[in-house]
Chain A
Amino acid sequence: MPPVIDQVVGVRTKAGPASVKRDAPVVMIPTPPRERELRLDLLRGFALWLIFIDHLPQNLLTWLTIRNYGFSDATEIFIFISGYTAALVYGRAMRERGFIVAAARILRRVWQIYVAHIVLFTIFLAEISYVASSSENPLYTEEMGILDFLKQPDVTIVQALLLKFRPVNMDVLPLYVALMLFFPLVLLVMQRSAGLALALSAGLYGLTWCFGLALPAYPNGVWFFNPFAWQLLFVFGAWCALGGAKRMSRILSSPATLSICAAYLLFAFYTTLTWHVPQLNHFMPHIAEQWMYPIDKTNLDVLRFMHFLALAALTLRFLPKHWPGLTSPWLRPLILCGQHSLQIFCIGVFLAFAGQFILAEYSGGAVVHFLISVCGILIMCAAAWVFSWYKRVTGKGGSRAKSADGDADLAGGGA
């Protein structure tokens, strides 16, 4: 497929003016100096929605999320696209303004992500303390032990600031911090030779699996997302952004690749089906089971990585760059969410906490559950709309240089 993800270069073509007219009432994204790749925004927005839904307890909408249909899930999409956009934005900064400036901007981003994580941690602490101390159901005396960690606040809070203590569902941002922290170096190598950077990254991934490299967590165990393994996806995203995708386009568009991808996706789908329909288990050879399981999310199992690659290849094939649907108002909310990923991610996690809280304290019915999911997504969209509006308004007033920086941040958004 020729129009691989080589965005940046092109200029907004035919679709541009038409969509401006049609979307007049909707806020338009600020037109950056170079064209945005709307597919990236779309898919990242999609990943953010899925992450929000997956963070809520099981409900109807959970069945729409991709983790039920294959090995990989929204996290892979999110990390890959983040690597991709980070390379676009900070790669350009590094070329134009040098290593020091680019590194400084990356570190500023790291700080933002870190602060966002700490804010979410505080909110989580408030919720967990309330729920655990207000519940007296004798069925669950044991589960209320989750508060035990608060008996040593001196240790726990320091460990949280060190990113070692992370309650459940709060693992993505620390992974992000770790990945971005080393991104200046990655980018430096990548500017010299993209292939070398990717090879080093794959080597580190291999070493992680051979020697069990991991970051320790508190009170025990290791980081849920092992940065030494997940960096592969991030660096791979960056590599694709800096020309790798172009180089692969021949392979990607060959029918053989497509059929292998499709076959693999089917296999993954069938395997996940056996988890949900245990009766099917009889048709899964015992040897295959022993070879496959457990599918390790912590260390980005090869099966998961391949599943993501297959998904990405098919997406590229069937979602062309200039697909008119990308400018349709129906997809605008997704795209807007994808364009403000760090903010929307945090809002999503917050809303998941809030939704969980409502479910726990007031009502747990399926209908309420469904409504909470839908409302959460609407709030995320509204927030993204406000961010876009604000960016546009302030962008107009600010100086030229400032708005260029702003755009970079928007696209690099990163999170």
Chain B
Amino acid sequence: MRTGLASALIVLAVSSAGVSGCSDQTKSCDVPAYLLTSDSTLSRVASVVKAGGPLNILVVGSRSSTISGAEGEAYPVKLQAALREKLPGVPVNVAVELTPRKTAGDVASGLGKLVAARQSTLVVWQTGIVDAIRSVDIDEFREALDEGVTALRNAGADVVLMNMQYSPRTETMVSMNAYIDNMRLVAQQRDVPVFDRFTIMTRWNERGEFDLFSPVHGASLAKRVHSCLGRALSTFVINTARINSAEPEARRQ
């Protein structure tokens, strides 16, 4: 008991020291390296980039893949900009297919057709939040993900799964963990990378880079978060596809 309390205090002291230590840096929305790569790869993306493009990316997602009133500043647009910058000479196009208020099951069946029509090399499938809010049966969710990923693969696209946003104000009202875990499970079984938006945003909130609690109106916070997400996602795609973009990266730093 006493040692427990003591260790809690130590943890507190250490972490507050850590926070004060980094607060004098500019807030750079850094993401640790392990969240920016995956054991799974994006082989089609790699070969398309090697062949000089064009790299067609399709983002399929719910309302959190856009910002109402500022669509041009949502993460898919930022992703396109960042990839064009990092892959000079390769034409990159990012399209968005919004599926608001649809569960993974609602979306999964149509994914194959969608990709065939658009000839996408890579599909970023952002899903899970609607399922979590409606507490869709977890097995149904997992099967829907599995069906969707299989359809996308069969249609000839690489897949990146993206999980929910971290939303501290509703954290105790919507239970996300089971959905996040099951997405990771499907990803592991199908050997598909997961862009862990939830953990990334949790870290930003903990480290004080964004005050995600803010109930403030206006889109400026959303714009900044999306800008960071878009950049992180571009790095994730490049690392996961094992594309050697070391030179432009090095120049940037």
> Which residue numbers of A lie inside 8 Å of B, CB to CB?
55-58, 60-61, 63-64, 128, 131-132, 134-146, 148, 167-169, 217, 219-222, 224, 278-279, 281, 289-290, 293-294, 298, 330-331, 334, 352-353, 356, 359-361, 363-367, 370
Contacts and interface: CB of A to CB of B under 8 A. Distances in A.
Interface in B1-36: 1-2, 4, 7-8, 11-12, 15-16, 19, 34
B168 A57 contact: yes
Contact of B134 (A167, A169, A219): A219
B211 interface: yes
Contacts of A364: 168, 205, 211-213
Interface string B32-70: 001000010000000000000000000000111001111
B182 A294 contact: yes
How big is the B interface, by class? 35 or more
Which one of B169, B175, B217 has the highest number of Cβ atoms from chain A below 10 Å of its Cβ? B169
B134 A137 contact: no
A146 B133 contact: yes
Given A60-B11, A142-B165, A221-B138, 5 more contacts: A57-B171, A58-B202, A139-B64, A143-B133, A168-B173
A132 B167 CA distance: 12
Closest 6 CB pairs of A and B: A364-B213, A139-B222, A168-B175, A221-B137, A142-B63, A360-B169
26 contacts: A57-B171, A63-B11, A64-B4, A64-B8, A135-B215, A137-B217, A139-B167, A140-B167, A140-B169, A140-B170, A141-B68, A142-B165, A143-B170, A144-B170, A148-B133, A168-B173, A220-B135, A290-B189, A293-B181, A294-B181, A330-B2, A352-B172, A353-B172, A356-B171, A364-B213, A366-B206
B130 interface: yes
A68 to B, nearest CB: 12
Contacts of A168: 172-175
Interface in B197-253: 202, 205-206, 208, 211-219, 221-222, 225
A140 B205 CA distance: 14
Contact of A139 (B4, B171, B212): B212
B116 interface: no
Contacts of A58: 171, 202, 206
B34 A278 contact: yes
B129 interface: yes
A168 B178 CA distance: 12
A170 B39 CA distance: 37
B130 A138 contact: no
B16 A367 contact: yes
Contacts of A298: 138
Given A63-B11, A143-B167, A294 B185 contact: yes
A366 B67 CA distance: 28
A172 to B, nearest CB: 13
Contacts of B15: 60, 366
Which one of B12, B165, B213 has the highest number of Cβ atoms from chain A below 10 Å of its Cβ? B213
B167 A360 contact: no
Nearest to A218: B135
Majority secondary structure, A binding face: helix
Interface of B: 1-2, 4, 7-8, 11-12, 15-16, 19, 34, 39, 62-64, 67-70, 100-101, 129-130, 133-138, 165, 167-175, 181-182, 185, 188-189, 202, 205-206, 208, 211-219, 221-222, 225
A293 B8 CA distance: 31
Contact of A145 (B101, B138, B214): B101
Contacts of A293: 181, 185
B9 to A, nearest CB: 10
B172 to A, nearest CB: 5
B215 A361 contact: yes
B172 A331 contact: no
A120 to B, nearest CB: 13
A25 to B, nearest CB: 20
B135 A128 contact: no
A55 B172 contact: yes
Which one of A146, A168, A334, A370 has the highest number of Cβ atoms from chain B below 10 Å of its Cβ? A168
A60 B69 contact: no
Nearest to B201: A139
A298 B79 CA distance: 38
Nearest to A127: B173
A387 to B, nearest CB: 22
A396 to B, nearest CB: 31
A359 B101 contact: no
B188 A289 contact: yes
Contact of B172 (A57, A63, A134): A57
Contact of A135 (B136, B169, B202): B169
A220 B134 CA distance: 8
B217 A217 contact: no
A296 to B, nearest CB: 9
A139 B174 contact: no
A145 B130 contact: yes
Contacts of A370: 12
B111 to A, nearest CB: 20
Contacts of A141: 63-64, 68
B173 A138 contact: no
A138 B68 contact: yes
B211 A146 contact: no
A139 B213 contact: no
Contacts of A55: 172
Contact of A146 (B34, B165, B170, B216): B170
B168 A145 contact: no
B173 A359 contact: no
A319 B175 CA distance: 35
Contacts of B62: 142
Contacts of A331: 1
A139 B135 contact: no
A148 to B, nearest CB: 7
